Structure 1
Amino acid sequence: MGITIQNITGNTAMVIWPRMAGCADSFYSVMYHPNWNSVLSSYSRKSFQKEERVPASRSSFVVENLTPLTTYLLCVTCQSASPSSDQCRVFNTLERDPASASTTKKELALGIWLASSLLLLIIAAVLLYGCLHLLCRTRRERSRARAGASRQEARTKGLAHGLEEPSGESQVLQDSEERQPDGIQLATIIENPAACREPGQLVSSSRERVPAARQCPAVS
């Protein structure tokens, strides 16, 4: 049939076949199978793992997603017929393409970087939320403490003011009594006739004597 395989890499291969008159109104079936062994494998249609349908207007197809360093059996038939030996070719894929390997590494590094960045953002958000919550809680506690201290100070001032007023009145009365002790005692002596009978009697703690010339009023 004249099937040829070209541009073989570690992951792709291009297969070219001549046009078949029987497939003019149908399609081509491109079948391939990895790890092929001519002793254990057959050309039966069921033994192929992959099958691609190609329009009859085309005579080539690029097989992709192959495994590097692997032996493949590839066959091209018209419609869904079982292939024959002249419709198949065996080829080996090369090592991994350096460009694809570098692309894979870049994609892996980019994925790791994105995952790490996302994780760091989540951690930063959690820490920021915790700090803000702690700060707000501290401010509320300080406000409550200040309010409590203000209330306690107001109560203390009110209590001290209430205690100072009676003490002031007591002081005034005490001062008045201290200023005129003799006058009160003299008035008592004048009203008491018995005290007037003894002119020379001591009438106060200051040992002053009442004048003898004072006359006591008559008792009715």
Structure 2
Amino acid sequence: MGITVQNITGNTAMVIWPKMASCADSFYSVMYHPNWNSMLSSYSRNSFQKEERVPTSRSSFVVENLTPLTTYIVCVTCQSANPSSDQCRVFNTLEQDLASVSNTKKELALGIWLTSSVLLLIIAAALLYGCLHLLCRRRRERLQGQDRTSEQDHKKVQTNSMARTSEKLGRQSQQTPYTEEKHPGAIQLATIIENPAVCKEPIMPTSKSQERVPTTGRCSAIN
């Protein structure tokens, strides 16, 4: 059949085969197995460790995840047929090169770094959220305390104002009767002075001498 294996490394190998005109199936079966000496001579499909399906439009396939320094057997058949000896090829993988080892380590280190970065970001976000929540709660409590203090001060001011007002009213109520008792006759005297017409009586003229004769009354008695 002319199967060839090229570009062999410690972990990969490219399998190439010619197109099979007699294969009317929709895909090829690429089967491979390590330590081919342990396989039966019949090349049964169940004896292969791995099997890959490749569309019939392709004539090559890269086998991956191989073990370095290991002997493999690879076979290519139609969709469901058992392979024959002319459809198989034996090859040996190489020692794993330093470049692939370095790339593997780099990929591992990059994965660890990315995972650690994501975890740190999550932890930082959680801490930031907790701090903001705590600050908001303290600020709310502080504002509530200020409102309560201002309300208490306002109540104290109102209480003091009412107390002062009541005290002034009490003082005025105490001073008013004292003034009236101190000068009881002053009010009556002032009333009499303000109304002098009470003391004056009309002068009756006589017909003979036209002299004015004052009529004596209560004014003389008052004087």
TM-score (norm: length of structure 1): 0.64
Q: Among residues 110, 113, 123, which one is paired with 2:127 in the alignment?
A: 123
Deviation string 1:112-141 (CA, Å, 9 cap, x unpaired) is 213322331232123212211221221122
Report the aligned-residue RMSD: 3.0
Which residue is equivalent to 1:89? 90
Question: Tell me, what secondary structure is at the counterpart of 2:157?
Answer: helix
Q: CA deviation at 1:45?
A: 0.9
One-letter code aligned to 1:92? T
Question: Tell me, what secondary structure is at the counterpart of 2:138?
Answer: helix
Q: CA deviation at 1:162?
A: 0.8
Quick one: distance in 1 between partners of 2:161 and 2:75?
105
CA contact (8 A) 1:4 1:89 kept: no
Which residue is equivalent to 2:220? none
Quick one: distance in 1 between partners of 2:78 and 2:138?
75
- Pair 1:110-2:114 in alignment: yes
Which residue is equivalent to 1:154? 158
CA contact (8 A) 2:9 2:96 kept: yes
Which residue is equivalent to 2:191? none
Quick one: distance in 2 between partners of 1:173 and 1:93?
127
Aligned length: 176
Q: CA deviation at 1:68?
A: 4.7
Q: Quick one: structure 1 residues 92 and 152, their matched pair in 2 at CA, closer, same or farther if it must change by over 3 Å? A: same
Q: CA deviation at 1:148?
A: 2.0
**Aligned sequence identity (%):** 38
CA contact (8 A) 2:16 2:60 kept: yes
Which residue is equivalent to 1:58? 58
Which residue is equivalent to 1:37? 35
Q: CA deviation at 1:101?
A: 3.7
Q: Quick one: structure 1 residues 39 and 49, their matched pair in 2 at CA, closer, same or farther if it must change by over 3 Å? A: closer
Deviation string 1:171-193 (CA, Å, 9 cap, x unpaired) is 5555776x67xx9xxxxxxxxxx
CA contact (8 A) 2:11 2:68 kept: no
Question: Tell me, what secondary structure is at the counterpart of 2:83?
Answer: coil
Question: Tell me, what secondary structure is at the counterpart of 2:81?
Answer: coil
Which residue is equivalent to 1:80? 80
Quick one: distance in 2 between partners of 1:153 and 1:133?
30
One-letter code aligned to 2:93? N
One-letter code aligned to 1:69? P
Question: Tell me, what secondary structure is at the counterpart of 1:28?
Answer: strand
Q: CA deviation at 1:144?
A: 1.9
One-letter code aligned to 1:82? N
Question: Tell me, what secondary structure is at the counterpart of 2:131?
Answer: helix
CA contact (8 A) 2:4 2:89 kept: no
Quick one: distance in 1 between partners of 2:69 and 2:109?
22
Deviation string 1:147-178 (CA, Å, 9 cap, x unpaired) is 1221122123212321332134325555776x
One-letter code aligned to 1:37? N
Which 4+ stretches in 1 moved above 6 angstroms?
Answer: none
Task: State which drifts further: 105-114 or 86-95.
Answer: 86-95
Question: Any gaps of 5 or more consecutive residues in structure 1?
Answer: 184-220
Which residue is equivalent to 2:149? 145
